[in-house]
Structure formats: structure tokens, C-alpha cells
């Protein structure tokens, strides 16, 4: 009997063709919203393998819905939305995909910098509503991006370096902070200057966040940190929402401690603070970091590689709980 695989949203056709060659595949065809929890549980009951995306919460209720669930093969880079302990205890392999989203995420990061500094979102809404103040009106006059200073928090990794390359194209000065400093020769080749976090916040016109979400980085940007930033500066987050204390961000924006924010991620996503949505100086996106067709196709095919390895009794390339295979 062919294995039954459930895919929580539409994926690349080339990946689907490979899956259909070896399994019975059912897809939730609605790509506009995250699958309802009860529908996810119902699907788990009827399928052998789950193919979820980043925001699908694979918790204990999902994992225990089917005693014969064979695997959870996620398209996320980290298993943050999966109850890994329960999966491992039940002998369910969990796989992810490698970190291949740096360039796509850097595009979104830089796009948000420009959008929030130059009031592009407001301009778009204004024109759609029939407004047009005139090409030399100060109505939507914004801030330079070219020639400014960008501070990359946790910025020595792949995404931070990709943002730095784009920043140099805008003649920007690039600072970075993090728990470990790069060798001086590497700093010079990348055109990046190291600063302790507090100094980076004080000097930067744009603060861009790139650390992983861990207990020590949760709410690492809060009231104190916003108080160190320039009132003319902007914060951009394309990493994980909870790195910012969102209540503190709302307060900082209302008090004009900072000039604006560009956000692709949120502390409680998919929920977004209503206060942020009301602010004209906040550009918001629905976690579009890796939303490039070619990249998503590649990511989906990596998930298929993991599934095919499991079905062939081999070690999946990107398994995160290897110990279950020994059983």
C-alpha cells in the first residue's frame, strides 16, 4: 500500500510530481491562510506523513492523533513549531530544510528599510485611494537610505552578510554586533565594523535584527534598547518576532523614541498587534522572507528528498531527531 502524505499548503509542482510517483498525496489548496488546527488534526488521523510549513503548529494533539504517524517532514529551517520532545518519544522522525534563505530574506530586509524610510506603503495606499499630492510635495517626504549607517544585530551570519552587501551598494556604513567578533581580516573584506550592542543602537540610522530566537535573545530589544536609539532611526525585523518586545515597540513608536519600523515577523504571529497596524510609520509584511518561487520550489524538493530517504529506509539528509532511527 502506498503511503499517504498530507501537504498543508500548495507547494512547487516539481516536488508534487516526485511525491505523487511514490505516494498518495492530498493537499490543502488554500494558500491564503494557515490551516485550521482541527483540520490539521483530522488530516493527521488519515495520513502517514505530514508535510507542514513553518506556521503549522505540530503539537502534541496533532502528533497523538494518529498512532501510526510515520514522520513530520517540515519545510521550516528550524523545528520551532513542532513538539520535538513528543515526536521523539513516539519514535516519529522530524525533518527540516537547511538554511538556504539568506539572499531572499536580505531582499525583504532591504526592501523594508526603503519602504519605511521613504513612506512607500503610505504612498501606495494614498494613490489607491485616489490621492496624489504632487511630485514635489512634502506630504510624504521621508529619510535617506543612501549614505546612512545600518547596524546589524547578530549580523555576522549568512543573512546579515547578505544585507551588508546590499548596504554597500547604497554607500552605507555597516556596523554589526554579536556574542563573537569576526577576525579583523574578515571584517575588512566584508566592510563591517564591530560594535557592542549598546553602541550599535546609539550610532545606527537603521537597526536590522538577525539573531536566532533563543531564551537569551527573546525580548533582547525592549524599552531600554529603544531608549538608546536615535529618534530619527528605524528598526527592521526579518528574524523572529519575539526578539522585539512588541509592547515596548508600540510604546517607543507612540513616544517618538524611534522614527518607524519595518516588520516581516511578529511576536505572536500570525496575530499582529492592532496598534502596529494603525501606525502610518510601520511597514508590515506577512513573513515573506523566503517567498521567492524558485527558492520555495527548491525547499519543497528538499522536503521530498527527506521523505524519499525515509521511505527507502535511509537516513534523511535533514533529520533533527536522529535517535529515533536507531529504534
Catalytic residue among 47, 70, 210, 287: 287
- 232 contacts 260 by C-beta, under 8 angstroms: no
Average pLDDT over residues 119-123: 95
The stretch 257-278 carries a mean pLDDT of 97
pLDDT in tens, 197-249: 999 999 999 999 999 999 999 999 999 999 999 999 999 999 999 999 999 99
Q: Is 203 helix (H, G, I), strand (E, B) or coil?
A: helix
The rounded distance, in Å, linking the Cα atoms of 128 and 150 is 31
Is residue 287 annotated as part of the catalytic site, yes or no?
Answer: yes
pLDDT value at residue 4: 98
Q: Is the pLDDT of residue 327 over 90?
A: no
Per-residue confidence (pLDDT) for residue 92, from 0 to 100: 98
Considering 240, 246, 267, 296, which one is annotated as catalytic? Answer: 240
Q: Is 119 a catalytic residue?
A: no
pLDDT for residue 326? 83
Tell me: pLDDT of 15 over 80: yes
Long-range contacts of 117-125 (CB under 8 A, 24+ apart): 117/142, 117/143, 117/144, 117/145, 117/206, 117/234, 117/260, 118/142, 118/143, 118/145, 119/280, 120/283, 121/283, 122/280
Domain 102-284 has CATH 3.40.50.1370: no
Dist CA 301 CA 295 (whole Å): 10
SS3 58: strand
Q: Which of 24, 103, 269, 297 is catalytic?
A: 269
CA distance 125 to 4: 45
pLDDT tens digit sequence for 285-300: 999 999 999 999 999 9
297 is annotated as an active-site residue:
no
The mean pLDDT value for 64-69 works out to 97
Q: Please report which confidence band the pLDDT of residue 308 belongs to, taking 50, 70 and 90 as the band edges.
A: very high
* Strand order, beta sheet including 260-263: 192-194, 173-177, 149-153, 206-209, 234-237, 260-263, 282-284
The CATH homologous superfamily of the domain defined by 4-99+292-326: NAD(P)-binding Rossmann-like Domain (3.40.50.720)
Instruction: Domain ranges for the chain, please list them.
Output: 4-99+292-326, 102-284
Across 155-183, average pLDDT: 96
For residues 6 and 90, give the distance between their C-alpha atoms in angstroms, rounded to a whole number.
19
Amino acid at each position: 500500500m502506498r503511503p499517504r502524505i498530507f501537504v498543508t499548503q500548495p507547494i512547487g509542482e516539481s516536488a508534487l510530481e516526485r511525491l505523487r510517483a511514490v505516494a498518495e498525496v492530498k493537499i490543502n489548496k488554500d494558500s491564503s491562510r494557515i490551516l485550521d488546527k482541527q483540520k490539521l488534526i483530522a488530516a493527521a488521523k488519515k495520513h502517514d506523513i505530514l508535510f507542514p510549513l513553518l506556521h503549522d503548529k505540530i503539537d502534541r494533539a496533532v502528533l497523538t492523533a494518529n498512532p501510526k504517524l510515520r514522520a513530520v517532514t517540515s519545510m521550516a529551517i528550524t523545528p520551532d513549531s513542532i513538539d520535538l520532545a513528543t515526536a521523539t518519544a513516539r519514535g516519529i522522525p522530524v525533518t527540516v530544510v537547511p538554511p538556504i534563505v539568506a539572499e531572499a530574506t536580505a531582499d525583504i530586509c532591504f526592501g523594508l528599510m526603503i519602504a519605511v524610510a521613504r513612506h512607500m506603503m503610505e504612498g501606495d495606499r494614498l494613490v489607491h485611494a485616489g490621492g496624489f499630492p504632487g511630485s514635489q510635495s512634502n506630504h510624504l517626504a521621508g529619510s535617506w537610505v543612501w549614505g546612512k549607517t545600518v547596524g546589524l544585530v547578530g549580523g555576522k551570519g549568512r543573512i546579515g552578510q547578505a544585507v551588508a552587501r546590499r548596504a554597500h551598494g547604497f554607500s552605507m556604513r555597516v556596523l554589526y554586533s554579536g556574542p563573537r567578533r569576526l577576525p579583523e581580516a574578515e571584517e575588512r573584506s566584508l566592510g563591517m565594523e564591530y560594535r557592542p550592542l549598546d553602541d550599535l543602537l546609539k550610532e545606527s540610522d537603521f537597526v536590522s535584527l538577525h539573531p536566532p530566537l533563543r531564551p537569551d535573545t527573546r525580548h533582547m530589544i525592549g524599552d531600554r534598547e529603544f531608549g538608546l536609539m536615535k529618534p530619527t532611526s528605524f528598526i527592521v525585523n526579518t528574524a523572529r518576532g519575539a526578539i522585539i518586545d512588541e509592547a515596548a515597540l508600540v510604546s517607543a513608536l507612540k513616544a517618538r523614541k524611534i522614527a518607524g519600523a519595518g516588520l516581516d515577523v511578529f511576536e505572536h504571529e500570525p496575530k499582529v498587534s492592532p496598534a502596529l497596524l494603525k501606525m502610518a510609520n510601520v511597514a508590515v509584511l506577512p513573513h515573506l522572507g523566503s517567498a521567492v518561487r524558485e527558492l520555495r520550489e527548491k525547499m519543497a524538493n528538499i522536503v521530498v528528498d527527506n521523505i524519499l530517504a525515509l521511505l527507502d529506509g535511509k537516513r534523511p539528509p535533514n533529520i533533527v531527531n536522529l535517535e529515533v532511527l536507531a529504534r
